[in-house]
Amino acid sequence: MTTIAGSDLSDIEALLGSLGVDAGYARRLLYWIYRRGIKSFDEINDIPAKVLHILSENYVTGLISPVMSEVSVDGSIKYLFSGSRGLNHETVWLPDGKRSTVCVSAQSGCRMGCRFCATGRNGWGGNLTAGEIVNQVVSLPHVVTHIVLMGMGEPGDNIDEVLKACRIFTAEWGLAAGRSKVTVSTVGVTPSVMRLLDETECNITLSLHSPFPEERREVIPAEARWPFAETLDLLMRYENRRKRRFTVAYVMIEGRNDTGRHLDEMKRLLSGTAIRVNLLPYHPVAGDDARSSENSVMMRFKHELVTSGISASVRKSRGGDIYAACGMLAAKTGKKPEIH
């Protein structure tokens, strides 16, 4: 059956009209789906029963609960979902005082082939729908203040569904999350970055790895087709009147991308751009002898960037005891939940 989750207001108004139902119920229906996270239309108490009956004969909410979870000693929780097509995908909830971030997946698996990423090693499943992306937020038993599309998969490789999900996240008839609370992370699929800039007001993070194209290409094959310089150019030329946050995510690996040469090139690329840098520790994957840079090295990078006028931060490691690398938990099970 067709799902409601993933639809926008105009979709639901048209749907109700096609069923001979007053389109005025569209906002209430979406409230129950996106704000209350209902699994069944029977949970709705302010729409006439005859309308709910018509809906239940033709549609399902499309929302499902996770099939598995693992809790870290630091309080973060990794959840495993599996949609109606059995596509395993992961979501991580990261509490941090008054802030709680949910990191959601855009795909089951990934086609980018980044060398340091566990997701791509587990094979390609398929694109997630906007409903499956949104479900990862509304079906969690937690308050969520920030949403980051930085889980399994490359958002730019599933841009139509990602754009739909972003509209739902920020629209007043959807989750009504502030535009500054939603971030999309990408390796820099240039046409998709252009659409994110044109069609959303969400923050954008570029996963860089190395400021040298030839080095980046060895680890992020997408560099050959979509050079990171193109994305940086788009972000630098964007007329940022709404003060969207543009960030470079830099996973630091000892001896690979944490030398003075790398630091100098980062400063050359980003000085005067207002693009911030988020330095991240590396989580090794099975069979990889690479190690994360020492904290002292990461702090030196941060200090040098900041004194050069570049906003920079070091992100602390979270969930190291619960398969922190994206894709690790999904590889453990092939369970498929019941769809309501």
Q: CATH number of the domain that 43 lies in?
A: 1.10.150.530
Residue 338 lies in a domain: no
User: Which of 14, 33, 60 delimits the end of a domain?
Assistant: 60
Residue 143 lies in a domain: yes
Q: Are 265 and 225 in contact (CB under 8 A)?
A: no
In 10 A of CB 219, how many CB atoms?
18
Q: What is the CATH number of the domain that holds 318?
A: 3.20.20.70
- At residue 31, does pLDDT exceed 60? yes
Are residues 209 and 115 part of one domain?
A: yes
pLDDT at 160: 98
Are residues 44 and 125 part of one domain?
A: no
User: Which of 35, 60, 85 delimits the end of a domain?
Assistant: 60
Are residues 54 and 109 part of one domain?
A: no
Are residues 236 and 202 part of one domain?
A: yes
Residue 232 lies in a domain: yes
3-state helix, strand, coil in the chain (%, to 5): 35, 20, 45
Are residues 313 and 265 part of one domain?
A: yes
pLDDT at 206: 98
Over the range 56-91, which residues count as b (16 or more CB within 10 Å of their CB) and which as e? eeebbbbbbbbbbbbebeeebbbbbbbbbeebbbbb
Residue 321 lies in a domain: yes
Q: Residue 274: what residue type?
A: A
User: If you average pLDDT over residues 134-147, what whole number do you get?
Assistant: 97
Percent of the chain with pLDDT over 70: 93
Could you tell me the two tokens for 187? 């390796």
Could you tell me the two tokens for 104? 């959601």
pLDDT at 102: 98
Are residues 177 and 233 part of one domain?
A: yes
Are residues 149 and 131 part of one domain?
A: yes
Q: Are 16 and 50 in contact (CB under 8 A)?
A: no
CA distances from 308 to 249, 269, 272, 298 (A): 18, 11, 9, 15
Q: Which domain holds residue 43?
A: 2-60
208: Cα separation from own chain's centroid: 16
Residue 159 lies in a domain: yes
Q: What is the DSSP letter of 253?
A: B
Residue 337 lies in a domain: no
- Per-residue confidence at 335, pLDDT binned at 50, 70, 90? very low
**Residues with catalytic roles:** 90, 326
Are residues 161 and 21 part of one domain?
A: no
Are residues 326 and 193 part of one domain?
A: yes
User: Which of 43, 60, 77 delimits the end of a domain?
Assistant: 60
Could you tell me the two tokens for 38? 């209902």
Long-range contacts of residues 302-308, Cβ cutoff 8 Å, at least 24 apart: 302/277, 304/263, 304/267, 305/263, 305/266, 305/267, 305/270, 305/277, 308/267, 308/271
Residues in the chain: 340
pTM of the predicted structure, to 2 decimals: 0.93
Q: What is the pLDDT of residues 154-187, one digit of tens each?
A: 999 999 999 999 999 999 999 999 989 999 999 9
Q: What is the pLDDT of residues 232-242, one digit of tens each?
A: 999 999 998 88
Phi/psi of residue 91, nearest 5 degrees: -140, 140
- At residue 149, does pLDDT exceed 50? yes
Average pLDDT in the chain: 92
Q: How far apart are CA 281 and CA 290, in angstroms?
A: 12
pLDDT at 338: 37
Are residues 73 and 49 part of one domain?
A: no
DSSP string, 278-339: EEEE----TT----BPPHHHHHHHHHHHHHTT--EEEPPP--TTS--STTTTGGG----PPP
Are residues 187 and 46 part of one domain?
A: no
Are residues 117 and 22 part of one domain?
A: no
pLDDT at 1: 77
Helix (H, G, I), strand (E, B) or coil at 101: strand
Residue 339 lies in a domain: no
Domain count across the chain: 2
